[in-house]
Structure 1
């Protein structure tokens, strides 16, 4: 597309220059929640580092992990596409899932990463090369390069092996999760991730499944120490819905207590919580599956204040095709305001 006097080009270059001056934000998580948030965040800064869980062992990612002995690519793929500056046709191609044959259920993007991994013989290099192909804003890094497996110990003493099994088995047993852990326990983070955390203006936990997307990132060796020692603001984005078999009947406070239990006190400065009422007809769909809205209470807010955690409340719901998601733009604006207000002091 050609525009006279290059006005469009100048406008794009001006925005890119502005984004490069944006705050350094590190986001830890996984799943759909993280990729949705990243799509909003890239509109405000290009200095983004997404540290993504690689404990996934289900679906197409699980198949590739088992067949090829590689790290699961699914959450990585979603984050790369969220931060990509590419044509819509390319995104459709990489998100395409095969419907028949041996590749049924597998996404082309996962196969793309698998091919890159095979070519370069290194998962980290494969992700970097794919980032170049997709003109990715910022960086997407796996939480570790080691082949980790996630386990959950329940309050009834049962131990569940495998990320994909946790919500299913726990849903059947009807217990609560006491603790999650990874094996090997000494899995190391990437040096690049450690540097990003050290230099961050803001470190964001979530949004994403509490025990299978957010907390696994905290289980990597010394990750909690690096986050705690960072001078950046530490923010937790609370989920807007509970997850059946994982966070049944959890409130905002329960989510935060679980994070602290798996890390240490002082790991969260702010929590961003939704107060927007969800339409009854949408809520009914989720309640059929056992999920309910997570709305912060006055009592929880008081307790969090006593813990030294400031609560930021807002209407944060975005509903598309009957799916409840966070409003990525509002979340990003809140994060940006927090960082800028701190710099002004």
Structure 2
């Protein structure tokens, strides 16, 4: 008897969310194939997959389009769309194509540094008159396995109170700051979520948050009015996927339980997690040395402190090994996805 299918909602931003989606999509039926007949090599364990994506980026190609066309930043959403599409499709490669910067001594074109996918989403926003509709229409073109929703359709900006009492405005300025974030703020503070977002959370069997930058990829979603309450009120199994390493000005010195404390605080102290996936596997000395040059260290898996927060820790080896693993540290998305789908329903579970 195959396990029951689940409705899954994954929340986040940056490379963390798109990485997780690559692991989850193999359990979702191809859009044009019966759910009972094809899910790559794995059983069709997900009946519906939705991603809720932060929209506060104001740098790079996304920031330029945001300023020029007054649209939401498309970059994180584009990455999630390509993660959920069919990798062999030429269109997917086209969406990720980035126009090259000018060579030394040459004048840069207006397209330099722009991703084609960002430009496509910008054009679709002008055609449909609505960014969320542009995302859905583009998703159909890519035949992605799931739905992608911006956390809000409002044009929001970030501010951060730093540990020296200063207030820094704009995500790019926040990430460039040499100070540590104490509190993140959203402007406007009452930005509403899409109705589809709340509906997906209400119907979900599994809700995940992370991995990703603690504040600028994860907390940003929890500042959207109604989202933390929807997670707290959901009957779904709710899981946090902890990062592998601390990150400059976002989480230096924070343990796994302290990551959870920051998330709870920004969610209005709502209880939004039942489980936390925390890496306990060793990291190679070469990678440790490379990340140490930026002050980054492995996140301490303080499992007892996590339990004291009412969350069940799921320790394990979640580190990717294979091509490229000697230069960049990232999660093994297949292992993380399988672990998430194997979590028991939260009813009757105790920390």
After TM superposition, the score normalised by the length of structure 2 is 0.87
User: What is the rounded CA distance, in whole Å, between the counterparts of 1:98 and 1:289 in structure 2?
Assistant: 29
Query: Of residues 3, 9, 13 in structure 2, which corresponds to 1:30?
Result: 13
Unaligned runs of 5+ in 1: 1-17
Contact 1:242 1:249 in 2 (8 A): yes
Contact 1:248 1:291 in 2 (8 A): yes
Unaligned runs of 5+ in 2: 28-45, 102-108
Deviation at 1:155, TM superposition (A): 2.5
Determine the structure 1 residue equivalent to 2:22.
39
Q: In structure 2, the residue corresponding to 1:81 is in which secondary structure?
A: helix
Deviation at 1:89, TM superposition (A): 2.6
1:181-260 map, 5 Å: 181-260=185-264
Determine the structure 2 residue equivalent to 1:266.
271
Determine the structure 2 residue equivalent to 1:310.
312
Contact 1:304 1:311 in 2 (8 A): yes
Change (3 A) 1:128 1:265: closer
Confirm or deny that 1:121 pairs with 2:129.
yes
For the aligned residues, what is the CA RMSD?
1.9
Contact 2:158 2:170 in 1 (8 A): yes
User: What is the rounded CA distance, in whole Å, between the counterparts of 1:35 and 1:291 in structure 2?
Assistant: 22
1:1-345 map, 5 Å: 22-44=5-27, 45-85=46-86, 87-100=88-101, 101-169=109-177, 171=178, 174=179, 176-263=180-267, 264-296=269-301, 300-319=302-321, 320-321=323-324, 322-339=327-344
User: What is the rounded CA distance, in whole Å, between the counterparts of 1:130 and 1:160 in structure 2?
Assistant: 34
Q: How many residues align?
A: 319
Contact 1:150 1:183 in 2 (8 A): yes
Deviation at 1:90, TM superposition (A): 2.2
Deviation at 1:265, TM superposition (A): 4.1
After TM superposition, the score normalised by the length of structure 1 is 0.88
Q: In structure 1, the residue corresponding to 2:26 is in which secondary structure?
A: coil
Contact 1:238 1:252 in 2 (8 A): yes
